[in-house]
Amino acid sequence: MRELAGSPDLIELVAAARDAGHEVMLVERPMPDAVSVAALGRAYDLVSAPEGAALLGAAGEQLDFEPGPVVAAAATLWARLAAREGGAEHGPTGTGLVALGGFAFRPQREPAGPWAGFPALLLRVPALAVTRVRGRTYASPAVADAEELLEIPASFRAPGARKLEITPARPAADWEAAVAEAGRRLAAGEAEKVVLAREVVAHADGAVAAAAVARALRAAYPACFTYLVTGGDGTAFIGASPELLVKRAGTLVTAQPMAGSVVRGADEAEDDRLAASLLGERFLAEHRVVPAWVAQRLAAVSTSVEDPGKPEVVRFTNIQHLATTIRARLVEPAPSALALAGLLHPTPAVGGVPLDAALRLIDELEGFDRGWYAGAVGWIDGRGDGELAVALRCGLLWEDGARLFAGNGIIAGAHPAEELEETEVKFRALLDALVA
């Protein structure tokens, strides 16, 4: 690991490497103390496998296997790899041995259909990791001559898309009917809350370049997690998530679950009025269950948990959310960031309460395979530290199109038309980034 002079643009590094035929990933959050990582090439992959998780070499050969629930099994494999490779070397967090990627909403199920290029879990140790932390940039090679990847020149960029044709994968009226049915079943006591998502398909009149979309998302949502994960079939999963699933730094853990949202106002006064509406009982009832659930899960592996008991309103470019920041001090030996992500996922913010009942409702009413939507995406290092976001405000891109995903928490008494409108607001994050 060495510090690089200057401050290379991570998206440009990823774009050049991908154009040159290398596998790439990116997790970026351009904030003062945040960690951003670009992954160029491949040294190892941690992937889901029947009855567990496997460690694969650069050529795809299986090097190790761990049985059990996929995320927990992958966390065990990661600890073994870090011990063998000396991954806990001294240096800034996010440097040395590092892996990027994530897992599906249902990590025990292999995604199907358009998600053919994505296993249920994929965490890649790149040939070269380029990490930015506190204004400094570091290169961590995992194979010989990996730093040559820093010298790949930018390639020609095809004209970008200027127009989109948007087609709901399911008629809006059908989705509203599903929301109404969910409301009836919730009122009957089948569950307290369920999250229902929609899918739309965007066809463009030009190239939809993943790097260009990432640049647009970074510019529009600087406080969010911009992420890009390439699939084995040439697709790319990309998004700008506002929601932190879990961050581990030593024995300190932070989570910031979100539930409840409204649009931004036309001016500051309207912003404040809409934000005040989020603190009404309707939204608070939806929100309360999420931080309480997260705090309860963390309590099982912590010596102390700080839950403020009161949410705050956080504002992004086109939307405002209720969020609660929860902090905990882990027991020793501390579970890794990946193990903690498996413990917390899926939160009620993306699944529902009780979870088993909510998942049944999702299967019966939603009508599509979520794949990695509402799963987790982020980075982990050899010390066990890491940061994973909930995979929201996202899309699955191909050459001239994309599948986009957005969902809402539904409780008894929900208004289908209002829920539909809220998903349209969430779709805008990706739709605006797809066009030049």
Domain ranges of the chain: 2-142, 164-222+243-434
So what's the pLDDT on residue 279? Answer: 81
80 against 273, higher pLDDT: 80
So what's the pLDDT on residue 402? Answer: 92
pLDDT band at 315 (very low <50, low <70, confident <90, very high): confident
The percentage of residues in the chain with a pLDDT greater than 70, rounded to a whole number, is: 97
Report phi then psi at 416, rounded to 5. Answer: -55, -40
Q: Please identify which of the residues 66, 110, 193, 199 carries the catalytic annotation.
A: 193
| Pairwise CA distance, residues 268 & 86, whole Å | 51
DSSP 375: S
So what's the pLDDT on residue 281? Answer: 75
Q: What is the dihedral of CA 259, 264, 269, 275, to 10 degrees?
A: 0
pTM of the model: 0.93
Q: What is the pLDDT of residues 152-203, one digit of tens each?
A: 887 656 666 678 889 999 999 999 999 999 999 999 999 999 999 999 999 9
Q: What is the mean pLDDT of the chain?
A: 91
So what's the pLDDT on residue 164? Answer: 83
So what's the pLDDT on residue 5? Answer: 84
Least confident of 79-93, 372-386, 405-419: 79-93
Cβ partners under 8 Å of residue 24, min gap 6? 14, 17, 18, 38, 39, 40, 228, 230
Nearest Cα to 214, choosing from 435, 11, 429? 11
Q: List C-alpha distances in Å: 187 to 278, 298, 410.
A: 22, 30, 11
Q: Phi/psi zone of residue 260: left (φ > 0), alpha (ψ -120 to 50 degrees), beta?
A: left
The percentage of residues in the chain with a pLDDT greater than 90, rounded to a whole number, is: 67
So what's the pLDDT on residue 157? Answer: 66
Exposed, middle or buried by CB within 10 Å (0-12, 13-18, 19+), for 147? middle
The one-letter code for the residue type at 229 is V
Q: What is the pLDDT of residues 318-329, one digit of tens each?
A: 788 889 999 999
Q: Please identify which of the residues 28, 243, 286, 366 carries the catalytic annotation.
A: 243
So what's the pLDDT on residue 285? Answer: 76
Residue pair 128/147 in contact by the 8 Å Cβ criterion: yes
Report phi then psi at 180, rounded to 5. Answer: -60, -40
So what's the pLDDT on residue 161? Answer: 66
Q: Name the architecture of domain 164-222+243-434.
A: 4-Layer Sandwich (3.60)
Q: What integer is the mean pLDDT of 47-57?
A: 97
So what's the pLDDT on residue 310? Answer: 85
Q: What is the pLDDT of residues 264-296, one digit of tens each?
A: 888 888 888 888 888 877 778 778 888 999 999
Residue pair 268/410 in contact by the 8 Å Cβ criterion: no
Is residue 243 part of the annotated active site? The answer reads yes
Residue pair 222/30 in contact by the 8 Å Cβ criterion: yes
| Pairwise CA distance, residues 277 & 145, whole Å | 56
pLDDT band at 92 (very low <50, low <70, confident <90, very high): confident
Query: Within a 13 Å sphere around the CA of 109, how many CA atoms are in the beta-carbon half?
Result: 13
11-20, 40-49, 163-172, 257-266 — which one is most confidently predicted on average? 40-49
Which residue reads 């049944």 in tokens? 360
So what's the pLDDT on residue 39? Answer: 97
Indicate whether 88 pLDDT > 70: no
Q: What integer is the mean pLDDT of 287-307?
A: 92
So what's the pLDDT on residue 78? Answer: 97
Torsional sign, CA 205, 210, 212, 217: positive
For residue 310, count other CB atoms closer than 10 A to its CB. 9
Residue pair 62/55 in contact by the 8 Å Cβ criterion: yes
So what's the pLDDT on residue 44? Answer: 97
Q: List C-alpha distances in Å: 414 to 268, 275, 309, 336.
A: 28, 19, 24, 38
Cβ partners under 8 Å of residue 109, min gap 6? 120
